[in-house]
Structure 1
């Protein structure tokens, strides 16, 4: 790295999905501005996983990385939710982050520090080095609005009470420019960590109000109301949709693509709950029977069930053993020819881009959601945790590109309901209309990313600010 070459440093937070989207932003950035270098300074809770190592080793030459020393797990509170763990890991990594930045500033002309939303505490390090601090917010402008306004909800008398990690509201929450949000659409927590979550959200909000700018992984034609409203109160830059262009395809994962090659056009439902989402054994059974009952073709990424918290595998390895052993007895034989089951992981962007794929049953993580949008695939919204319920509300009620299954007692979606929404998406008039609508968003996404598109121009405006800084 040349001493006078301009560069930015980025601080992801733990969690593969957060790292991936920051890397994709870095690739987009250096692709548009090859004179720049990017260095990822990565806080960790444990040694890098094989998948993370594979991702990092395949970075282009102008993107570098440093894995910061691991945080001692004993320094973190027991039973903390994953969001708090992400935030605390970065907080405990600040001394090593300072050392890494000191070394970096001696080697290159550093013009900005770009943080993940959950790396917000690193703003104090940016100030110590007299660097502008920006946040790359990897999800929606609507979620950003919720975080920014969160501390005022109590002050304005909107919140009736907090119990079991849920907000109780007097009426639907109407943030500036956003669709009305009900209490069940908002960020959740497990009962033991509700106070932990509340304090974390206040901390995030405070930090977001202190940064020099917020880069949002959304685009104007997708969220015009929230983006315009936010830009009236703080420096917000919509630069999305930032998504993976391709997956690291292995020989095992290529089998599902070969299977798709032999299916009729728009005949397959892709089913996946992201890199960390898990279902209970009961829900796994109901989903399996529902897919079978629908009669439609499916490609399903199956993970071993977890009867605890849906996001309990966020930082942990998946259960040992074969996930297929947990499927209902005889399911694989009965659905032979109808479905293709993949263990734990599939090359998602290639599956969604494939002509045989008609729709996507998704957990509504924003990376997956945007990938579905840019590939023009309507969705069945099945949120599990974090901001996914808010994303599901946007997809089904605001964008109208997704169906949301009805949940029965104990939070279970029964097999008959699974079959109903699959049929509706794959063969019903509502599914066809959603397909037409998401094609419009797909075209808008392409336009936003074009040479003169809104997201490209917005990123150019940010880079112009960085180029003129005298550090």
Structure 2
């Protein structure tokens, strides 16, 4: 009889962290049907309808439990989003301990064989639970291998480098790698400064990477070979990506978008979306509208109610039923562009849009999930980072992968002007010039798209990495059985 293996996964709050773990779990059980996955989900307030819908559609060998809600009033006020996520998980540890204990004492054999905890980087306190139950522990990294390399280097950098490390006018080399970044593109917590509690918490997280049994990365070897090779001397690294959604979980605006795209020429449409949590100011919305109109490019724009806080929709989705986002567009914009563009409120089926033949460009906030979707579907990008690690992702897409352009911010008003938006749109959507920048970007990303498919194929590098990880977990089950029944040895 085939031995059942159970893995528990602990995400942190936020759909952009939950969805990659879910897709990983689905990939795992699809190719290794002797596995059972249990999601144990810390929550900050009630789960959103989108979250419930995604979880209720899981296959039978994946199930989930919501841990008791953490009250936002119990957290310190005005803390950074990353600290908020980390504290939500930390405050859920007693409930998590009980949940894992219940799994281990269950009469169901597949759950008795719980061997590992897989958790998000902001769920690092779960390491302590893993050690208490003698379970293997793994970070699931929902960012690039290059960014992970930066995080692994941060503790030593903090000890050895001068104040230039925090000088946003400088460019900094990442140790033992072939890449460098402008300091101003470092992740948010680093830019808060060494004396801030946010930075100290992030540094502690980076120090804890050395405590786990392995690092599971949503990337692939041919995309980030140097970064992955540089980590293998110190960690068990499993690049098992690109793992993306095969279809959008919400069908909101699906028919409307696809019907409209079907009427447009091949690769003629620019898709504009700022992910599940990004928002813009009203002034910036006006500038985008001006840039789109003056560019003459076909566009499909997902628009949210404006906010001065760029991540205001991160936890809630910002589906503001009292305000129609379209009311915030410049007067007459929709009428003037009715044959040029489509604006949909709040949500659109991103996977179906990016994979559609009429889509030729992607203006994105540079979340890693969206970046991978652009890569997989071979759509060159305009980088518009908003928060978290998105500025570093933007630098990776433009300077290292060379599949994107990045508009310049007007440093007087700290917005991106309409003229600049029109300029980068014309670069990315140019299909006429044989030697133009747009064509080079398109050829480069099409090559990477092919490489992504090869990595995920049956004998590809990512499938091999997943098989190596599975073997580790299966060996743990056998070891546990031998300890319980030494006469079997």
Which residue does the alignment assign to 1:442? 449
Q: How many residues align?
A: 465
Q: Secondary structure at the match of 2:206?
A: helix
Contact 2:253 2:349 in 1 (8 A): no
- Asked if residue 116 in structure 1 is aligned to residue 120 in structure 2, the reply is yes
Residues 239 and 210 of structure 1: CA distance in aligned 2, closer, same or farther (over 3 Å): same
- Gap runs ≥5 in structure 1: none
Q: In the TM superposition, what whole-angstrom CA distance separates every residue of 1:225-256 from its partner, at most 9, and x where no partner exists?
A: 11110112221111110100111353633201
Tell me the equivalent position of 1:347: 349
- Residue by residue over 1:246-295, the C-alpha shift from the partner in whole angstroms, topping out at 9 and shown as x without a partner, is 11353633201110011111110000000000111111110111011100
Structure 2: which 5+ residue stretches go unaligned? 481-489
Q: Which residue of 2 aligns with 1:313?
A: 313
Q: Distance in 2 between matches of 1:313 and 1:176?
A: 37
CA distance in 1, matches of 2:5, 2:178: 37
Deviation at 1:119, TM superposition (A): 0.7
**2:280 touches 2:306 (CA, 8 Å); kept in 1?**
yes
Q: Distance in 2 between matches of 1:171 and 1:402?
A: 20
Task: Pick closer, same or farther for the CA change 1:67–1:467 going to 2, 3 Å.
Answer: same
Partner residue, 1:296: 297
1:61 aligns with 2:60: yes
| SS of equivalent residue, structure 1 residue 342 | strand
List per-residue Cα deviations over 1:387-441 (Å, max 9, x = no partner).
Answer: 1111100110111100000111232110000000001111151111111000110
Q: 2:467 aligns with which of 450, 454, 460?
A: 460
**Aligned counterpart, 1:211:** 212
Q: CA deviation at 1:209?
A: 1.1
**Residue in structure 2 matched with residue 399 of structure 1 by the alignment:** 401
Mean Cα deviation higher: 62-71 or 149-158:
149-158
Equivalent pair of 2:153/2:174 in contact (CA under 8 Å): no
Residue in 2 that maps onto 1:241: 242
With over 3 angstroms needed to count, the CA separation of the structure-2 counterparts of 1:140 and 1:191, relative to structure 1, is closer
2:365 aligned with 1:363? yes
What corresponds to 2:384 in structure 1?
Answer: 382
- What is the CA-CA distance between 1:171 and the residue it aligns to? 4.6
Q: Match of 1:416? A: 419
Query: Once the two structures are superposed, what CA deviation does each residue of 1:57-101 show, in whole Å capped at 9, x if it has no partner?
Result: 100111000000001222211111111111110000000000000
TM-score (norm 1): 0.95
Q: Which residue of 2 aligns with 1:41?
A: 40
SS in 2 for 1:411: coil
- SS across alignment from 1:160: helix
Query: 1:468 aligns to what SS in structure 2?
Result: helix
Separation (CA, whole Å) in 1 of partners of 2:162 and 2:33 = 48
TM-score normalised to the size of structure 2?
0.92
What does residue 24 of structure 1 align with?
Answer: 23
3-state SS in 2 of match to 1:234: coil
Distance 1:8 1:374 in 2: 28
Residue 192 of structure 1 deviates from its aligned partner by 10
SS of the equivalent of 1:59 reads coil
Does 1:90 pair with 2:81? Answer: no
Q: Which residue of 2 aligns with 1:433?
A: 440
Distance 1:191 1:174, change over 3 A: closer
Cα RMSD, aligned residues only: 1.8
Separation in structure 1 between the aligned mates of residue 419 and residue 205 of structure 2, nearest angstrom: 41
